[in-house]
Amino acid sequence: MNRTQRDGLIFVVIAAAGYSCLPILVKFIRDAGLPPLDIATWRFTFAMPIFWLMIVLRRSPAPAKPLPRAGLLALGVLFTSATITAFWGLERLPAGTFIILFYTYPAMVALLSLLLGERLSTQSWLALGLTLVGTALTVPNLSSGLSADDSMGVLLAIINALIVSVYFIFNNRLLRGHSAMAQASAWSVTGSFLVFLTLSLARPVTWPTETSTWVLLLALALVSTVMPIFCLTTGLSKLGAAKAAIVSTVEPVLTTILAMIFLGEQMQPLQLVGGALILVSVILLQIPRRSSTGASSIEAVADVSP
């Protein structure tokens, strides 16, 4: 594993940690009386100016290579679509079932990569299998099953996974050769904000009445939006789409631990086994291997990233 890939791994893990806090924060905010679409609106309303303020305060230099702003705004639309389908799906399915269906997205990333002319190594396919099995064991209440009324929730979960898969591929290809990750992330978040701003013109937005709710919304913007989006964007450019998708599946492990601490949920032995499988898969991805001559692989994409 070279330095670029190691740095990419760290960034993706930090992003997963930030996203793992999102269900906990959203749970507390929903208990305060805000509906899902309003939570998403306030999330990006806070996140967008924070991103641009961060760039100004850091005095980030102008990109050496002009950023594809239209493409980045389109990434924001994809991220918005993922947010909306996730909230709607979670209203119709148990959280555990939804997460299981959502975490089919690493497999979708791999399949989309194959369709685009790239391929995964045997080692990466093995890691992918371990993460899917580990995720299934980690998430609680999977055995509750699905009823006919859950069909729309299942569809939304699959659509959500597909949107995130396209996001991974599009992000990796769009920013290949670029180094201004902070500015790129800011443009992407701006795209999401513009979508929710447009929606707010057609529907009333609920304003929180408690100071604690405002604090939670700010935490949602900082911890589960600004930090992970920046880290994920940077990690994708260094690690590659397929590997980043697999590494990010440490998120359900972290979410389960946080749920134990803050929501009082208990972790069952099978969940511990699932978490161990996910961690083993992350380690497996980092074991050096001999590349085949002339191979066009996901790993090669990561190697040429800055």
Instruction: Give the three-state DSSP class for 290.
Output: coil
Say whether pLDDT at 96 is over 60. Answer: yes
Cβ 281 vs Cβ 130: under 8 Å: yes
pLDDT digits 0-9 by tens, 28-74: 898 888 888 899 999 999 999 998 998 888 777 777 788 889 999 98
Nearest to 300 by CA among 214, 197, 202, 176: 176
**Whole-structure pTM over 0.85, yes or no?**
no
**Average pLDDT across the chain, whole number:** 80
pLDDT over 70 for what percent of the chain?
Answer: 87
Burial level of 155, CB count in 10 A (0-12/13-18/19+)? middle
- Print the domain residue range for 163: 3-303
Structural domain count, the chain: 1
Q: Which amino acid, one-letter code, is at 288?
A: P
